Each structure stands twice: as structure tokens, then as C-alpha cells.
Amino acid sequence: MTTHEPAGDEQRLVAEIRRFAAAPFDARPAPTADIDDLDLRLFHTTYLPSFVAPESLEDNRRPVETDLAWLRLVTPAAAPTNLGVLTIGKDPSAHVPGAYVQFVRYQGLDLGAPVGDQHELRGNLVGTATRLGALLSANLRTKLTEGEGLFREETLPDYPLEALRETCMNALMHRDYERSNAPVRIAWFDDRIEVTNPGGPYGQVRADNFDRVSDYRNPGLARAMKALGYVNRFGRGIWRIRTAMARAGSPVPEFHIDETSWCVVLRKWP
């Protein structure tokens, strides 16, 4: 019996499947998405300018598919990658089911307490970061404390916003989008905030070295978050969370890690 190689479009599809089979999840094609599922206006106004200098943008005459492929948001055949869906997709969770954030504000100290507020943030990375920043700020409460100098007081939030943002951005960057449909969960209690994401330690990272060693389950997403300004420096997330909490006089953050998830607990100032 003679076997024949697939021809035309089928052959190109097989070649792409082989090429991306060993790639990280965020670099692989999203099977259910096409280019119409990407927000190209957002790409031109926000995403592309984060990677390209203004003077280069002015001279850019390349087709949008070329720029998308260069930034690995689509494959060379113009099929959206998971990275493209996550960062500029119109509805990421329609193609990557766990790509959303669940926020619940409890009026008490445990999961049995009444729910005061709850949200599901199902937008792309840019939209989620914007909405999340506003949501975190809106839920902060302030206290008066003595400031520098005579007869001066300062108003301080009950949690440092820098620590909160860093914790949430780390959860979005490092979570496992491939093997779990669970969202990133933010549970806000009267005395603490718990941020949980699916996916245990990855690569070289272990429970006993997570604050010293970095590795990336989603390297393309990590690169995008740094370019967009959501991540300050690679490998400094844990340090920034601890430093921000210490600077505010807040309790030391807690990290609970197992094979399937991470949970960061930030406790309110005394």
C-alpha cells in the first residue's frame, strides 16, 4: 500500500501542528479562534506601541498579519495563538475557558460569610488589568497614621496597592491555562486577601526555592506583560510583594504552594 503525503491546505496544517506540538501553551494555535476574534484596534493603539518605538510606527507599512506574526499573536498562517487570544482577544474565555478572574468580597472571615460584592473579569489582558486595578482601588479602606513632622497625619490604605497588583499580575502570568479551567480567584475577607491561581511550581521552581528561582510556563505572556508595564522586572515579583508589605507595616505575606495551585495571603495591617 502506498501512503501519500497530504497536499495543499491539509499539508500546511499538518506542518503547523508538528511545528507547534512542543511549543509552550501560549505559543500554540488556539483551535477555535480566527483572526476576527482578535481586537485589531487594541493591537494598533496599545499592544504594538508597547513593543515598537514611535518613529518606527510612523514608517510601518507592513500588513497587520505580519506584525501579529512577528509578535507571535498569530502563526505564520495567520491563525491566532493562545497568546493572541489572551492578550488582545475579544472574548478570551470562549477559547481558553479558564482565562478570567473571579473576585468576591466577603463580609466576614470565611467562605460562609455573606457576599458583599462579586465580579467576573473575562476580558483580554489589557482590559482585565484596567478593570482589576480600578476594582482593587475601590475596595481599599484607609486609616490615619502619624506622618513626618509635627502635627502631620497620613492616610494609608489597609493593603499596599503595589503588593496587591503584583500578586494579581503574577497570578495571571504564571497560572496554568492548559490543564485547568479554574479562574484566578481573589477572595477578599475582612482581615485578609487570598489570591489563588491554578498551576503549581513550574520547571526549575520548587516550593523551597520559589523566591529565588524563576521559570516561565507562559514565556510569551510574560514578555507581553513586561512590555505593557504590568510586570516591572522578571524574577522580582515575590521580592516586590514582600517589600511593599514591609514598607507599609503590614504582616509578612504567606505563600501556600502545592502541585496544582498557588495561594498568596495578604493580611490587613494591625
pLDDT at 15: 58
Geometric angle at alpha carbon 227, from 96 and 30, rounded to 5°:
20
Q: Is 162 helix (H, G, I), strand (E, B) or coil?
A: helix
Is residue 1 one of the residues assigned to a domain? Answer: no
pLDDT at 209: 86
Task: Examine the domain organization and report whether 80 and 105 are in the same domain.
Answer: no
pLDDT at 4: 52
Which residues contact residue 260 at a Cβ distance below 8 angstroms, ignoring those fewer than 6 apart? Answer: 180, 198, 199, 200
Task: Examine the domain organization and report whether 110 and 88 are in the same domain.
Answer: no
Task: Examine the domain organization and report whether 52 and 182 are in the same domain.
Answer: no
- Confirm if 264 and 255 have CB atoms less than 8 A apart: yes
Task: Examine the domain organization and report whether 121 and 185 are in the same domain.
Answer: yes
Geometric angle at alpha carbon 229, from 240 and 215, rounded to 5°:
60
pLDDT at 237: 85
CATH of the domain at 226: 3.30.565.60
Q: Is 34 helix (H, G, I), strand (E, B) or coil?
A: coil
For 52, what's the count of Cα atoms within 13 Å in the CB-facing half-sphere?
A: 18
Domain boundary among 43, 74, 92: 92
Task: Examine the domain organization and report whether 116 and 134 are in the same domain.
Answer: yes
Distance CA 116, CA 109 (A): 12
Strands 261-267 and 153-157, bridge-based pairing: unpaired
The shares of helix, strand and coil residues in the chain, as percent rounded to the nearest 5, are: 40, 20, 45
Distance CA 187, CA 194 (A): 5
Q: Which of 200, 203, 129 is nearest to 169 (CA)?
A: 129
pLDDT in tens for each of the 270 residues of the chain?
A: 455 555 565 665 555 555 666 799 999 999 999 999 999 999 999 999 999 888 777 777 789 999 999 999 999 999 999 999 999 999 999 999 999 999 999 999 999 999 999 999 999 999 999 999 999 999 999 877 665 555 556 678 999 999 999 999 999 999 999 999 999 999 999 999 999 999 998 989 888 888 888 889 999 999 999 999 998 766 688 999 999 999 999 999 999 999 999 999 999 987
Q: What stretch of H or E contains 65?
A: helix 64-70
Is residue 157 one of the residues assigned to a domain? Answer: yes
